[in-house]
Amino acid sequence: MARSLLQSALQLPPAERILLVEQVWDSLVEADADVPLSQTQLVELKQRELRLEKNGSSGEDWTTVKQRLLKRRSKR
């Protein structure tokens, strides 16, 4: 079944495939699915957590980033 489902999905136009992936991902989130992490992912996650605790957040919120990108786009 999974192979035929994949083959059908690959026949969709790119925009519809992206939408399908989003819907599948959202279904995992809604089901609160326990998605296992690899050892490499766990190590990276721990490093990021320690860096956040040590240095605080160095990122920007989405609203700030979006405004900057929209400004940059409007200058073109």
Helices (H), 1-76: 2-10, 14-30, 39-55, 62-74
- Please report the pLDDT score of residue 1 as a whole number: 66
- Please report the pLDDT score of residue 76 as a whole number: 76
pLDDT at 41 over 70: yes
- Please report the pLDDT score of residue 18 as a whole number: 96
User: pLDDT band at 42, cuts 50/70/90?
Assistant: very high
Interatomic CA distance for residues 45 and 39, integer angstroms: 10
pLDDT tens-place string over residues 5-33: 999 999 999 999 999 999 999 998 889 88
35 three-state secondary structure: coil
pLDDT tens-place string over residues 45-58: 999 999 999 988 87
* Domain residue limits, the chain: 2-74
